[in-house]
Copies of this chain bind each other. A is one copy, B any other.
Amino acid sequence: MRNLEIFDSTLRDGAQARNISFTVEDKLNIVRALDALGVRYIEAGNPTSNPKDLEFFTRAALLHLQNAELVAFGSTRHRERTPQDDPLLQRLLGAGTGTVAIFGKSSELHAREVLGVSLEENLHMIEETVRYCVQNGKQVIFDGEHFFDGYKQNPDYAMRTLQAAASAGAMRLVLCDTNGGCFPDEIAEITGKAVARFGGMVGIHCHDDTGCAVAGSLMAVGAGAVQVQGTFIGFGERCGNANLSAVIPSLQLKRGYACIPEGQLCELTATARYVAEVANIVLPAQLPYVGASAFAHKGGMHIDGVTKLRSSFEHVDPASVGNERDLLLSEMSGRTSLLHKIRAFAPGLRKDSAQVAQLMDILKRLEFEGYQFESASASFELVVLRHLELFSSPYRVELFRIVGEQADKQESKLSSAIVKVQVGERSEITAAEGQGPVNALDKALRKALEVFYPEIRDIRLVDYKVRVMEPQRATAAKVRVFIETTDGAASWTTVGVSTDIINASFKALTDSMDYKLYRSAKGL
Contacts and interface: CB of A to CB of B under 8 A. Distances in A.
Given A114-B308, A219-B185, A470-B23, A288 B406 contact: no
B404 A399 contact: no
Contacts of A352: none
Interface stretch (A55-63, A194-202, A264-272, A496-504): A496-504
A404 B402 CA distance: 6
A308 to B, nearest CB: 5
A49 B300 CA distance: 9
B282 A209 contact: no
Given A240-B286, A294-B209, A499 B435 contact: yes
Nearest to A247: B211
A399 B405 CA distance: 8
Interface stretch (A91-99, A447-455, A460-468): A460-468
A407 interface: yes
A288 B19 contact: no
Determine the main DSSP class of A at the interface with B: mixed
Nearest to A178: B313
Given A50-B332, A114-B305, A295 B238 contact: yes
A475 B464 contact: yes
Interface stretch (A336-344, A379-387, A436-444): A436-444
Contact of A332 (B16, B477, B500): B16
Contacts of A458: none
A510 B179 contact: no
A273 interface: no
Interface string A291-324: 1111111111110110011011111100000000
A409 B375 CA distance: 22
Interface string A358-377: 00000000000000101100
Contact of A222 (B185, B406, B463): B185
A474 interface: yes
A476 interface: yes
Contact of A239 (B52, B293, B374, B467): B293
B503 A475 contact: no
Given A464-B471, A499-B412, A218 B404 contact: no
A40 to B, nearest CB: 21
Interface string A390-410: 000000111111101111110
A181 interface: yes
Contacts of A442: 474-475
Contacts of A23: 469-471
A331 B50 contact: yes
Q: How large is the interface on A (under 10, 10 to 19, 20 to 34, 35 or more residues)?
A: 35 or more
Contacts of A125: none
A506 to B, nearest CB: 6
Contact of A405 (B235, B305, B401): B401
A346 interface: no
Contacts of A309: 109-110, 113-114
Given A179-B311, A211-B246, A464 B469 contact: no
Given A210-B246, A375-B19, A475 B235 contact: no
A137 interface: no
Contacts of A409: 397, 400, 503, 506-507, 510
A90 interface: no
Nearest to A306: B114
Contact of A183 (B218, B460, B472): B218
Given A49-B332, A286-B17, A296-B18, A437 B178 contact: no
A312 B222 contact: no
A52 B332 CA distance: 11
Interface of A: 16-19, 21, 23, 25, 49-50, 52, 75, 109-110, 113-114, 146, 149, 178-181, 183-185, 188, 208-212, 214-216, 218-219, 222, 234-235, 237-240, 243, 246, 250, 254-255, 280, 282, 284-289, 291-302, 304-305, 308-309, 311-316, 328, 330-332, 372, 374-375, 396-402, 404-409, 411-412, 415, 434-439, 441-442, 460-477, 479, 483-484, 498-503, 505-507, 509-510
